[in-house]
Chains A and B, each alone.
Chain A
Amino acid sequence: MIIISNKDQEPIGRALKDGALAAWPICLGYLPVGLAFGVLAQKAGLHPFEIGMMSLFVFAGSSQFIAVSLLAAGAAPIAIIMTAFTVNLRHFLMSSSLAMYMGQTSKKLLSLFAYGVTDESFAVNLFRFRQGGWDVKRALMVNHIANLAWVASTLMGGYGGKLIPERALGIDYALNAMFICLLVFQLRGKKYVITAVLSGGLAVMLALVLPGNSYIVLASILAATLVVCLDRKGFQS
């Protein structure tokens, strides 16, 4: 009983360290966005406590921004709830993708993990799962560290985000840069490059004609479906 190779027995500290190493670019990126949200929410009349509560329960940047501007405009609650739902539908695709790597996970842990699925944690965790040496415990660390950074930065914004200069040190670009690199990691062959080019092009065109962010889901589904169909045809001929 001395040698325990089971991963479940490893100290929590190592998973925390791996999670923190993977999550720091997310935290850096959340800081300016969270501050901006906090400032906006405070201007809309929300108390910092209410701001923190929304960040904790909703944990979805774009939905929260839209909710607060709708609140300020005096929109009906049902309109705000419906908008939050549509704006976040894209997470359905992300969770479907992540599901491929979580076969052995208990339903309870999956339900906890689902809470933390965001654009950013999805991209980071998916890359780590593919790379190997990654497990649900580490993925959960990434989710929760990112969550903590989000709640904290929105609270900070609510308390006095106006004091922080805008565009300081290019921090506004942190999430863009992270997505650029994570996209590069996804380009593992011609098929993926074609998908990305197609999806990006479609997204830009759709974004110009459709309101809101439905272009993300539409472009992704269209591009992936087209490439799978073309791939099938290629095999037949």
Chain B
Amino acid sequence: MLERDYIILVFAMGIVTYVPRWAPLYLLTSRRLSEGMIEWLDLIPAAILSALLLPALLLSAEPRQMSLLRPELLVAVPTFLFALKTKSLGGTVVVGMMLYWLAGRIF
């Protein structure tokens, strides 16, 4: 049932999700940025990664509720330490998955 309405919807969604990805790249790359702006942008990755990650570890899905006993959070501690120690992305992913799998068997 490939309706015309669906195609239009998907196109429109494509456009509105593309523009925020595209505009800064198109407008900022050739421009000289102020020092404050550079310092700010330099902090954004740490800020965004933490803002993505911490709620995912601490909060349950709708309705959102905080719990310190979620396996997501408990597994995150040794995974974090492993990443800090080894600085290995692949290793951390494998260790995190293994620990989460183990946690699923225990809880």
Contact check, B92 vs A177: say whether CB atoms are below 8 A apart: yes
Contacts of B90 in A (CB 8 A): 24-25
We find that the number of chain B residues with CB closer than 8 angstroms to chain A is 73
- A77 with B8, Cβ < 8 A, contacts A113-B25, A186-B46 known: yes
- A50 with B29, Cβ < 8 A, contacts A170-B99, A196-B46 known: no
Contacts of A16 in B (CB 8 A): none
Q: Which of A84, A179, A192 has the most CB of B within 10 A?
A: A179
For window 1-42 of B, CB contacts with A under 8 Å fall at 1-2, 5-14, 16-18, 20-26, 28-30, 33, 36, 38-42
Contact check, B24 vs A58: say whether CB atoms are below 8 A apart: no
> In terms of DSSP, what is the predominant structure of the interface of chain B?
helix
Contact flags A170-194 to B (C-beta < 8 A → 1, else 0): 1111101111111111110001110
CA A224 to CA B42, docked complex, whole Å = 9
Q: Which of B1, B18, B39 has the most CB of A within 10 A?
A: B18
Closest to A218 in B: B51
Contact check, A103 vs B46: say whether CB atoms are below 8 A apart: no
For window 72-109 of A, CB contacts with B under 8 Å fall at 77, 80-82, 84-85, 88-100, 102-103, 105, 107
Closest to B8 in A: A77
For window 15-61 of A, CB contacts with B under 8 Å fall at 24-25, 28-29, 45, 47, 49-50, 53-54, 57-60
Contact check, B25 vs A102: say whether CB atoms are below 8 A apart: yes
Closest Cβ of chain A: how far from B99's Cβ, in Å? 7
Contact check, A49 vs B53: say whether CB atoms are below 8 A apart: no
Contact check, A102 vs B47: say whether CB atoms are below 8 A apart: no
Which residue of A184, A195, A196, A199 contacts B83 across the interface (Cβ within 8 Å)?
Answer: A184
CA A89 to CA B22, docked complex, whole Å = 11
- Footprint of A on B, CB under 8 Å? 1-2, 5-14, 16-18, 20-26, 28-30, 33, 36, 38-59, 64, 66, 72, 75-76, 79-80, 83-84, 87-90, 92-93, 95-102, 104
- Footprint of B on A, CB under 8 Å? 24-25, 28-29, 45, 47, 49-50, 53-54, 57-60, 63, 67, 77, 80-82, 84-85, 88-100, 102-103, 105, 107, 110-111, 113-115, 117, 119, 122-123, 126-127, 167, 169-174, 176-187, 191-193, 195-204, 207-208, 215-216, 219-221, 223-225, 227-228, 231-232
